[in-house]
Structure 1
Amino acid sequence: MKFKPDWFLIGMAFAVLLAWLFPDPGAHGGILHPELLTKLGVALIFFWHGVALSFSALKAGTLRWPVHLVVQATTFLFFPVIGLLLLWPLKGWLSPDLRLGFFFLCALPSTVSSSVALTAAARGNVPVAVFNATLSSLIGVFLTPLWIGLELKTSGNTLPLGNVILDLVLWLVLPLIAGQLTRPLLGDWAARHKKFINRLDRGTILLLVYTSFCDSMKWHVWSGHAKSTLLVILVGSVLLFFIVMWTVNLVCNALHFPTEDRIAAVFCGSKKTLASGVPMARLIFAGHPAIGLILLPIMIYHPLQLIICSALANRWARRTLKPAPRTTT
């Protein structure tokens, strides 16, 4: 069999290399303005998903409550518990600030754009991913600071609910609604150009990888600490990811979820958001002198999860799909 290079995996490696060589353009405040460019890319993805998805399909995804329960319980219960168990033997390896940062990573909500984009690229249940990614962001506004408050044995740390909800509505809900409203005009075109929409999803993932590594390089999170400390965080992040992914797979198989639902559950349940994590950290830990150390674990975990999940999406996308049963509407 003739070997065919995968442009997407090559693009992942190139994005990392590009961020290492030229971090300034893609870092926060750079000339590419990634804080706006990424949001525009997310809005475009959700617009085309709104065009491509029928209302009945979105409703079907919304009603898949067993999948939603698995994803949200994994994100906000299983993740923090596993984080505490992993941190217990690492007390002698990590400083208190780094341990707090690692737990902060475990308490964060799931990603939005990349979870949906990866689910679509892997031919998973996109409506389920859309619903869970949105729900996770909203729940995280309350549960993330609650978990951190319990860990610090303090209270009173709050988040500006209005700004968070407004951001979600502006860049996710409104584009999805706009796509639904224009579906009668653009639905047939979207059906004929699925490959283009798929490439758009993957292109956005590459953008997220590039900007994530740009911030890492710009903020010097890879230097200034002992190599052993960075190695412990890296190993802990990999271990955390695979424990969660393996557990979600087991639960999905035990509950006999279809493959498409399992893909959505794995991507939504195993991923943590950097885009919401940074502003959350600046509010929860306002004035903390070691906020850079607190952010270090999520800065390492975020690009790591994108690389692993992108490879999984590429693998699952090549599977043979069973013919879907006919339904009457």
Structure 2
Amino acid sequence: MKLLRILDPFTLTLVCTVLLATFLPAQGHYVGFFDGLTNAAIALLFFMHGAKLSREAIMAGGSHWRLHLWVMCSTFVLFPILGVLFAWWAPFPVSPELYNGFLYLCILPATVQSAIAFTSLAGGNVAAAVCSASASSLLGIFLSPLLVGLVMNVHGSSGSTLHQVGMIMLQLLLPFVLGHLSRPLTAGFVTRHKKWIGKTDQTSILLVVYTAFSEAVTHGIWHQVGLGSLLFIIGSSLVLLAIVICVNIQVARRAGFNKADEITIVFCGSKKSLANGIPMANILFPAATVGIMVLPLMLFHQIQLMTCAMLARRYKRKAEQEASQASHKAARPVMEG
């Protein structure tokens, strides 16, 4: 029961989706149906992401270039370097696809919603978080497939890296841009139905996961991944996330950022996007390997949520304690007077 309280409902649904794909995978004529449905769901997902992104929020946080520069370095330089070193070192005897999966998660962009939510909860610079996370998500559409071609010896069914970038722009960036351009017409609807749109996002991800794992199950994923491999993914994810968070905290403090900016750097620079990563994997990698390639990302996603939730609450408690101490100090001279 404790475990059920720790895991968020979406993660439990994600686990159920993997189990459904394990016991009832899409086969035969249903494969084409689910592929088409998944592509439509992904287009809707990125259309809604574009419709939710406010230009005012981008302008409000866009001037903080030093913060954004480090967040981009953390996302697209620090993470990939750690992933390359880890895959090169390969300290544990597990499937090479799992090491490739770790490398893949390291080159993905940051999340948008959770990075902003945790920054807000912890008392960080929300405007800068909106700008950094959104810029990371957009840059990732171009940078992530280029980094896949640069550092990963994996070839998808879509041909060359440039062709894959074109496919990603068509399937992800175009709906995003159309969604953003539609804001004059859709902004009110998006604001009124935030909860429903959040469910749409999650449903899109679940469809992609079901389709990917159905393909993986038919190619014997669970013969390649056992309990030892799952423990390896969890342990490695914890170590990777701890290193990145510690580096971000040290850089923020040594570079002279204030506490609000430090919080933004920590939460925007340590996230990896499940919403971007799974659709991209469908384009970048052969269908038979997508399931095992995204398994590290799926577990890392849950670990980053639980870790950052605890960290955000710690930042919030510390800020409240400091505010309480400051108010007591301010009240003393008045009482003495």
TM-score, structure 2 as length reference: 0.67
Change (3 A) 1:144 1:58: same
**1:45–1:200 Cα contact (<8 Å) kept:** no
**1:75–1:269 Cα contact (<8 Å) kept:** no
Higher helix proportion (structure 1 or 2): 2
Aligned residues: 292
For residues 121 and 292 of structure 1, the distance between their equivalents in structure 2, rounded to whole angstroms, comes to 35
User: Identity of aligned pairs, percent?
Assistant: 17
Partner of 1:208: 205
TM-score, structure 1 as length reference: 0.68
For residues 310 and 89 of structure 1, the distance between their equivalents in structure 2, rounded to whole angstroms, comes to 27
**2:101–2:297 Cα contact (<8 Å) kept:** no
Secondary structure (helix, strand or coil) at the match of 1:140 reads helix
For residues 90 and 272 of structure 2, the distance between their equivalents in structure 1, rounded to whole angstroms, comes to 27
Counterpart amino acid of 1:307? Q
Partner of 2:69: 69
Q: Does 1:158 align with 2:157?
A: no
Counterpart amino acid of 2:12? A
**1:16–1:209 Cα contact (<8 Å) kept:** no
* Residue deviations 1:239-295 (CA, integer Å, cap 9, x gap): 33333344334434444225345433333599972221332234xxxxxxxx845x4
For residues 6 and 263 of structure 1, the distance between their equivalents in structure 2, rounded to whole angstroms, comes to 23
Of residues 113, 131, 134 in structure 1, which corresponds to 2:135? 131
Counterpart amino acid of 2:63? L
Counterpart amino acid of 1:276? M
Change (3 A) 1:44 1:158: closer
Moved more, 37-46 or 225-234: 225-234
Partner of 2:78: 78
Q: Does 1:247 align with 2:247?
A: yes
Change (3 A) 1:258 1:87: closer
* RMSD between superposed Cα atoms in Å: 4.3
Change (3 A) 1:59 1:98: same
For residues 210 and 317 of structure 1, the distance between their equivalents in structure 2, rounded to whole angstroms, comes to 32
**2:137–2:276 Cα contact (<8 Å) kept:** no
* Residue deviations 1:141-180 (CA, integer Å, cap 9, x gap): 433312236x99xxx953314333333432212211221x
Q: Does 1:116 align with 2:115?
A: no
Q: CA deviation at 1:120?
A: 4.2
Q: In structure 2, list runs of 5 or more residues that go unmatched.
A: 121-125, 321-337
Partner of 1:303: 298
Q: CA deviation at 1:130?
A: 1.1
For residues 20 and 279 of structure 1, the distance between their equivalents in structure 2, rounded to whole angstroms, comes to 23
Q: In structure 1, list runs of 5 or more residues that go unmatched.
A: 283-290, 323-329
